[in-house]
Amino acid sequence: MRVYNFSAGPGMLPLEVLKRVQSGLTDYNGTGMSVMEMSHRSKPYDKINNDVEALLRELMNIPADYDILFVQGGATNQFSAVPLNIGTVNRKADYVLTGNFAKNAYKEGCVHLDAHVAASSEDKNYTYIPRLAPDMFRKDADYVHICYNNTIFGTCYDGTPDVGSIPLVADMSSVILGRQINVSDFALIYAGAQKNMGPAGVTVVIVKHELTERAAPTCPVMLRYDNQVKSKSLYNTPPCFSTYVIYEVLKYLKELGGIPAIQKINERKAAKLYDYIDNSGFYSNPVQKQYRSIMNVPFVSPSKELDDKFVAEASAAGLVSLKGHRLVGGMRASIYNAMPEEGVDALIEFMDKFKKANA
């Protein structure tokens, strides 16, 4: 029996996608082999590589002057790749700290250039997003870096921040494909696939082409965007199977009605869960309502002992991976695209039973 998996990552994949992958696991499209066994230089994989890029470009309305890369190393690898590729003109970058991953990106930025904290919500344990304005950033910064959705703390920007004419870089690992965004508002977007796009092993980078041509001479060969652009993400053996699964997820999403359709579903799921939490008189969520994530919902009960009991009993009931991150505690429900609305309904039903039994 499949469970409802509320893991923050790797997250759920749509069951229909898993079945499609399973059906071609030993013989993909009559090739007589799995994509896992396929040469990345072969015609069948070349088609996958081209098709996944074209479909992502279509679904996200990515302009022609942006390159799309499928690379390895996770989003964390981009903490180094970004400054080494685009932070090379004035060797200055401004960072907005809204959670653990934003802070880690800043720390890595400090290794490679003059990194500056322009704003932070650490003063209130990252329970809000700072309001940003162009005069908060250095005019000669090569870029401004933000983490758009904060997986651990359950916050998200309520729109594209105004950073003036400075290129805006965003880690969108836990929200990409989950809501509509205007790619043109950003100079560079990167996202680990394992939360909302596919399995672990591949990271998507969407970058304005003009920024791919200024890598530092010391930038490692595998981190250079220009190398990946010229080789269409085939500079070395890529994460073929993970990239292929992204393709199946994108096809599924298109059939569903694209990002506008899944955004409505995601907003409805999140609204249900937040509404129950806010009116339960038992659970609470610390995030300022304006900045609540529709992807990651942290919450607590009246005590740590009850939190631990909740996680254990929920798991036994088939609601797994609800334990909150160690930096926050309590519980966290990650309700990415693949989490069906029935899963959120089942969680709310369990929460209500648990409250009645333990209030």
Q: Which numeric CATH code is attached to 29-255?
A: 3.40.640.10
pLDDT for 327 equals 86
| Residue 325 CB neighbours (<10 A) | 17
Q: How confident is the model at residue 1 (pLDDT cuts 50, 70, 90)?
A: confident
Question: What does each C-alpha distance from 286 to 124, 128, 155, 277 come to in angstroms?
Answer: 10, 9, 10, 11
Cα 35 to Cα 24: distance, rounded to the nearest angstrom: 8
Cis, bond preceding 10 (omega within 30 deg of 0): yes
Across 51-56, average pLDDT:
98
pLDDT for 268 equals 98
- Could you give the residue range(s) of every CATH 3.90.1150.10 domain in the chain? 258-358
Average pLDDT, the chain: 96
pLDDT, tens digit (0-9, with 9 covering 90-100), for 138-192: 999 999 999 999 999 999 999 999 999 999 999 999 999 999 999 999 999 999 9
pTM confidence score: 0.96
pLDDT, tens digit (0-9, with 9 covering 90-100), for 78-100: 999 999 999 999 999 999 999 99
* Assigned CATH class of 258-358: alpha beta
Q: What percent of the chain has a predicted confidence (pLDDT) above 70?
A: 100
Query: Which contacts (CB < 8 Å, 24+ apart) does range 157-163 have?
Result: 157/129, 157/291, 158/129, 158/290, 158/291, 160/185, 160/186, 161/96, 161/132, 162/132, 162/133, 162/134, 163/132, 163/134, 163/137
Cα 249 to Cα 300: distance, rounded to the nearest angstrom: 32
- Could you give the residue range(s) of every CATH 3.40.640.10 domain in the chain? 29-255
